[in-house]
Chains A and B, each alone.
Chain A
Amino acid sequence: MILQLFLLTAAGLFAIGLYGALSQQSIVMLMMGLELMLNGVLLAAAALWYFLAPAGTDGQVLIVVVITAMAVEMAAGFAVATAIYRARQVDMTDGAADLKG
């Protein structure tokens, strides 16, 4: 077990999540991509804490922050999905392109 392997795994999760967030049309699937990206960040934070600075608690606090961000993202995302679905039966990102430049 070395730091680089953990970070490569985290980078893989982040890249897969980015692919999903960019390519998926469904709002729910898009949020799954965002969750995967945060998952990668979380793993990287844990690995950096363990391999570089285990004496402090900053890495652990960062994990707590990321876990909170995941919960907030999921709750707010589903609330927005519910609101836009109720307003105009949109459940795909392409249906909500009002602000597209």
Chain B
Amino acid sequence: MVAVFWVLALTAVVSGFAVFRLSSMAQVTFALLASFLAVAGLVVLLGLGYLGVVLALMMVMEMVVMVVFMIMYMMNPAGLMPMAMYHNKPGAMTISVTTFVVLAAGVLLVDWPDRAGEPPPDPTFALGLSLMSGQMLTMMTLGVTLFATIVATVVLATGRGRYERLGDGLDAPTAADPTGGGVGR
């Protein structure tokens, strides 16, 4: 168990760091995926099998989607040239190292309380029961948030709707299309 922890923890941190060091976008994406899978493994190691597997599945899908966006937007998807896309690198490094030192100091200096209670025999069952009773409000908020995200992403990603074509009042005499076409135009 301890050996598994060290392997997963080092994989998570090292591949997380590699995300900002590698020069190919494909390698970067898979480094990030390796980091996520290592964290999912750590979550499984802590006895949360369901959440760990959900995390792993979700991250695999998310990274596959990310690859598509990489190819759409990145100037250097194949990594044939080294990437240097930084701004204020020393400042960012200072801030993040300071953050880590502060967090680590907190982790090591705080007198953590003793473990209270034992994990339930089936943590997944307990989670489901909790989400459907005491934490129902959390679950409903998450559901509404996800729905709002669906609406917002579709609105943002839609190129041109009727409002762009016919003006805010929908009263323009002709549609402002970049190219002609359609009936009678």
Contact = CB atoms under 8 A, between A and B. Distances in A.
A49 B142 CA distance: 20
Nearest to B84: A25
A12 B13 contact: yes
B115 A61 contact: no
Given A47-B46, A49-B48, A79-B153, 4 more contacts: A33-B20, A36-B16, A46-B46, A82-B156
Interface of B: 1-2, 5, 9, 12-13, 16-17, 19-20, 28, 32, 35-36, 39, 42-43, 45-48, 51, 54-55, 58, 62, 65-66, 69-70, 73-75, 85-89, 91-93, 95-97, 99-100, 103-104, 107-108, 112-113, 115-120, 123, 126-127, 129-131, 135, 138, 142, 145-146, 149-150, 152-154, 156-157, 159
B19 A71 contact: no
Contact of A13 (B13, B126, B135): B13
A71 B42 contact: no
Given A18-B99, A23-B92, A63 B43 contact: yes
A8 interface: yes
Contacts of B104: 8, 11
